[in-house]
Structure 1
Amino acid sequence: MKKERMKDLFRDWRVLALLILLVLSVIAIYPHFDNNGNLTTNLQYGLDLQQGAWLQLEFKAEVVGFTTTEPVDTFVTNLSKSLDTDVIQVDASHLEIRKSFTQAELEPYFAAEGGTVVSYQPGISAATADLVKQILEQKINAMGTKDAKVNTLTGLNNVARYVRVEMAGVDMNQAQQIIGKQGKFEIRIQTTGNSTEHVLYGDSITSVQVPSQSPAGSGNWGVGFTLSEDGASTFQSAAIKYGATVDPSNHKLAMLLDNQTVYSAPLSQQLAGSLQSEPTRELFASTGTGTNGMQEATNLEIQLRAGALPVDVSVAGSGSTSASLGQHYMTMCLIAGILALIMVAFVIFYRYREPRIVLPMVLINASEIVILLGFISVIKFQMDLPTIAGLIAVLGTGIDQLVVITDEILHEGIVPSPNVYLKRLARALTIIVIAAATVLIAMLPLALMDLSTLKGFAIITMMGVIVGVVMTRPAYGKIIMEILSE
């Protein structure tokens, strides 16, 4: 009879789905021995659990609310010239000034150009913060650094004042070199066949504009950039020398970053004609139309900067973790997890005094952790101390919900009939779903906001709740029914 009941249990889709997910999670985690005979997995560890360094950088810029009696375009252009820096219009009433000024220093400049400072906030706009994040990520990836995280800390007013960079596996000196390093940017002109000749290096580019549509009105997206006076003369001479001004289609302009071609296109007829007579400092690299053209323009802007950020930064904070300290933290986290599971088992046994109830509860609880670790491994999420805290929190909330199911079923101290059992199980699951919804709502702001040290905790807690409601609670309800029916 018992064998038949066990077969029926494992044929149940809820139990079967749980077992399949457990097997897939173990495969994703892939525990194995490395070449040195040490047990390792596919899990990636963050800065807290291995050697690494972090830097918090402060943007030397500000977002200013303004009013003006002048046309906005004229006002922005004149202000940019008087301040000798890039001034970007964020929206109808805010400007981003990419240089460090106090509000008192800005007010005379605004007044001179026919404007007034309405509000002042140190930092950069959310769009520029996203660009900074992409530049830093590309720079870190180009250096071959693994397990790196870049988080811009953006407030509710959409102004970011800081960016935090975490790099596991490197020391502080390496981290500072990687952040400060620029790539080698080069412009070349096609001569004959696939041969090209050097024209300029990136130091001849004095400024790079944000992606925009062509001023000619063609609808093409692209990036405008400005050459120095010497760079413009050199560019004109090379274009004439190699025939790009008279035969643009066979003498394309190529841009390379660290010897990799990032852009290649012929000169426009208008630019080719103007270069015949005079140097041109203002250039526009067209990338195409539509969404794809806009994305290509964004990528090209990053390449043109060659790793240089659009605004200056200063180090507002830094820190590092040694290899021995990271190993100590990892060991303590493992001990904390095991102790948490043991304490859960002890409390459950003290409550029910029935091993047949305690064992399924503990195993179901442990299975949630394995499934979450498999999920972490698949998405390459870094495990750090907040993530570990989230896993331990899942142990606690998970066992609470299993107790709700068990107590609801044993409401009168006896095993109910199958029909009554299903009604009580449905009522228990309803309570659990409502409780899970409150946890998800509470954790959602932490998961979405740029609080990098708390994101891991929030995401893992939310995933634990979802896995519990969708997978482990229904499976436990079926398992405990079979056990109590005996």
Structure 2
Amino acid sequence: MADLRSNWRVVLLVVMLSMSAIVLFVPSATLAGGEVTGPTNLQYGLELNGGTRIRTPVTGMSATQLDVQRDDDDVVRNVSQELGVPSLDVAVRDCTASNVDCRTEEGHVVEVFNDSVTPEQLVDVLRAQGITRIDGTQVTTEHVRDDPSPETYARMASSIQSKLDATGLSGGTATVASAANGQRYVVVEAPNREPEALVELLDERGLVQLSVRYPGNGSMQEEVLVDANGIRTVDPPRRSQAGSGWEVPVKLTEQGGVRFQNILNRVGFTSNRNYQSCPANASRTSTRNEDGYCLLTVVNGDVKGAFSMDGRLAQTIRSEQFANDPRFFFTAGNQSEAQRIQTNIEAGALPAPLDLDQRQTFTLEGALADQFKLNALITAIVAVLAVSFTVYIRYSNATVAAPMVVTALSEVALLLGFASIVGLPLDLSHIAGFIAVIGTGVDDLIIIADEVMAEEVSSQRVFQSRFRKAFWVIGAAAATTIVAMSPLAVLSLGDLRGFAIITILGVLIGVLVTRPAYGDILRALVTGDK
């Protein structure tokens, strides 16, 4: 019997199948997040799990190919002040910078993410700032697109994906799609989630800040202490240790801790017991604390919590020791608000708001999705039985047909392991890809068997010669398949993309792992390791 070294391809296949079994069935053995409720670690998409798909544009407009001779931050500040919108609703991108990807754009791009601003107003402000086109001409409304830039859409999809992942939503995806008229959309899929819950998640910009409110200059002043950029880690919500309500513990970055400490000391928050002067139920518009100091948890501009500070922590800040271990917490009225704060901190704020008034919603009931799942399973079983029967009829020899079918099925097992470890949400398109992989895999194995067994094999040298000849044929066929499927895998073409990805992965696994392993098995069968 040949030693393990001569059959290393079979050993490699067995090891990979063992690893696939582990990531498929052992809890918490995958790299992907998300809650897994079934017997395996596989995640399912909308078509196999039910849920909601929302397609919506992004609110805003963009002026491109601009010649901006000033600092980007100055432009953002001036444009936001002139238009009367928050600075978060204005973005400036320098497409000439090496670290900025503007794709086909040139010069600068100025974007405004606020539906109260008209193109005429944006043009007037740009002209007032002395901003012209890169060709030296004046900016007009013809140069303003009634849509944010492609880069903003890409960042929106990435941010929403982070928000979906932070919620532990299994199989949730966010992508960018385009209509025939050029209008772009963000497409969000959320299995096992009702439309109202998904809209609530997407309707929040996700801007979380901790601010301090204090009396000064005859009126109440407010200053931001820390936002998501100043937070290093965030812990799960817990019940407040000081009383009712909930809190979200965080650890600040070194820079965030120093800023937090310096501002509180500068405004007098930590002196004269001011840290205990915030009344209960205080809000941004409350008049009950005109003479008091408050720390505010602010989410998307709305105060979700107002509170005082423990005396020991105030002493630590006053002695400038807080920055050595900058830990604090955001407060919330209930557990749901606290979890939303945690999600927004972990995912970060969306670059722009979504125009959910223009959304298109598709909902699939869980019962119908279960029916799709059952039908897909039945189809896969029928395909396997049909392939097995055909192969057996072709060779009338179970010792040849059985390894062929098992090898083809091992490709599916490896693909399922890959889908499990990366958290790929399976849909009907992926199931179709699995069935196609079984068919093409068996085709290649038949080519190998027919070439090798055309005549009697007298030695391993003869076997290797015939196997290499057959492998060149299936290698060329695999290359053709990959080239043909690559555009479908790259472009945003809906279900065709999932089918193409699974097919390409199946072909690669077959050429690199399973076909060579089958060659070793066939060699042992026909040569007896002669």
Question: Structures share a fold, TM > 0.5?
Answer: yes
Map 1:177-256; keep pairs closer than 5 Å.
177-181=200-204, 185-187=208-210, 239-242=267-270
1:325 partner amino acid: L
1:350 deviates by: 4.2
Q: Distance in 2 between matches of 1:340 and 1:427?
A: 29
**SS of residue in 2 equivalent to 1:40:** coil
Cα 1:413–1:303 change in 2 (3 A) is same
The counterpart of 2:170, out of the listed 143, 146, 158, is 146
Cα distance between partner residues in 2 of 1:387 and 1:400: 20
| Per-residue Cα deviation, 1:399-425 (whole angstroms, up to 9, x for no partner) | 222122123223x44435422221121
Which whole-Å CA distance do the structure 2 matches of 1:129 and 1:210 have between them?
21
Distance in 1, Cα, partners of 2:474 & 2:124? 61
Counting strand residues as a fraction of each chain, which structure ranks higher? 1
Deviation of 1:330 (Å): 0.5
Return 5+ residue gaps in structure 1 as ranges: 33-37, 192-198, 212-219, 223-234, 245-252, 260-264, 268-299
Q: Does 1:395 align with 2:438?
A: yes
Match of 1:339 in 2: 382
The Cα of 1:469 is off from its aligned counterpart by 1.4
Deviations, residues 301-323 of structure 1 (Å, cap 9, x unaligned): x7499756523422431111211
Q: Deviations over 1:154-185 (max 9, x none)?
A: 89xxx993212211122122222222246684
Which residue of the partner structure matches residue 476 of structure 1? 518
Q: Give distance in 2, aligned partners of 1:162 and 1:451.
A: 13
Question: 1:187 is aligned with what amino acid?
Answer: L
8 Å Cα contact 2:174/2:189 also seen in 1: yes
Q: Which amino acid aligns with 2:383?
A: A
Is 1:459 the counterpart of 2:483? The answer is no
Partner of 2:114: 99
Give the aligned CA root-mean-square deviation in angstroms.
4.8
Aligned pair 1:169/2:192, yes or no? Answer: yes
**Paired position in structure 1 for 2:20:** 25
Counterpart CA distance in 2 for 1:305 and 1:113 is 34
CA pair 446-349 structure 1, distance change in 2 beyond 3 A: same
| CA drift at 1:188 | 5.1
Structure 1 69/255 Cα, relative in aligned 2: closer, same or farther at 3 Å? closer
Residue 426 of structure 1, aligned match among 468, 475, 486: 468
Kept after mapping to 2: 8 A contact 1:393/1:461: yes
Structure-1 separation of matches of 2:414 and 2:46: 23
Inter-partner Cα distance in structure 1 for 2:443 and 2:428: 23
Change (3 A) 1:105 1:347: farther
Distance 1:304 1:14, change over 3 A: closer
CA distance in structure 2 between the aligned counterparts of 1:109 and 1:408, rounded to whole angstroms:
74
Which residue in the other structure is 1:381 paired with? 424
The residue type equivalent to 1:124 in the other structure is: P
Look up the SS of the partner of 2:353 in the other structure. Answer: coil
Q: Note closer, same or farther for the CA distance 1:422–1:146 as it changes in structure 2 (3 Å cut).
A: closer
| TM-score normalized by the length of structure 1 | 0.67
Shift of the 20–59 alpha-carbon distance from structure 1 to 2, 3 Å rule, reads same
**C-alpha distance in structure 1 between counterparts of 2:42 and 2:438, whole Å:** 19
Distance 2:144 2:345 in 1: 31
Residue 95 of structure 1, CA deviation: 2.7
Partner in structure 1 of residue 136 of structure 2: none
The residue correspondences of 1:29-68 to structure 2 (distance < 5 A) are 29-30=24-25, 40-67=39-66
Structure 2 residues not aligned, in runs of 5+: 28-36, 96-106, 133-138, 215-219, 231-253, 257-262, 273-294, 306-315, 319-341
CA–CA separation in structure 2 for the residues paired with 1:64 and 1:414: 73
Describe the shift of the 1:328–1:55 C-alpha distance in structure 2 as closer, same or farther (beyond 3 A). Answer: same
Among 336, 349, 373, the residue aligned to 1:330: 373
Q: 1:9 to 1:135 in 2, by over 3 A?
A: closer
Deviation sequence 1:354-408 (CA, Å, 0-9, x none): 4332222111111111111122222222111122122112112212221221232
Q: Would you say the 8 A contact 1:99–1:312 is kept in 2?
A: no
For residue 9 of structure 1, report the CA deviation from its aligned partner. Answer: 8.1
The alpha carbon displacement at 1:329 in A equals 0.7
Matching of residues 303-322 of structure 1 within 5 Å: 303=345, 307=349, 310-314=352-356, 315-322=358-365
User: Structure 1: how far apart are the matches of 2:423 and 2:69?
Assistant: 51
Render the CA deviation track for 1:240-270: whole Å, top value 9, x for unaligned.
34359xxxxxxxx9988789xxxxx999xxx
Question: What one-letter code is carried by the residue in structure 1 that aligns with 2:203?
Answer: G
8 Å CA contact 1:51–1:171 kept in 2: the answer is no
Rounded Cα–Cα distance in structure 1 between residues aligned with 2:152 and 2:50: 31
Deviation at 1:59, TM superposition (A): 0.8
> Which structure dedicates a bigger proportion of its chain to helix?
1
TM-score normalised by L of structure 2: 0.62
Provide closer, same or farther for how the CA distance between residues 112 and 200 of structure 1 changes in structure 2, counting only shifts above 3 A.
Answer: closer
Question: When the two structures are aligned, how many residues end up with a matched partner?
Answer: 403
- Is the partner of 1:56 in helix, strand or coil? strand
Whether the 8 Å CA contact 1:139–1:307 is kept in 2: the answer is: no
SS at match of 1:173: helix
Q: Assess if the C-alpha contact under 8 Å between 2:13 and 2:513 holds in 1.
A: yes
- Is residue 2:447 matched to residue 1:404? yes
Kept after mapping to 2: 8 A contact 1:186/1:200: no
Instruction: Give aligned-pair identity as a percent.
Output: 28
Partner of residue 88, structure 1 = 91
User: How big is the shift at 1:343?
Assistant: 2.3
Change (3 A) 1:407 1:103: farther
Counterparts of 1:374 and 1:441, CA distance in 2: 24
Q: How does 1:287-306 map to 2 (within 5 A)?
A: 303=345
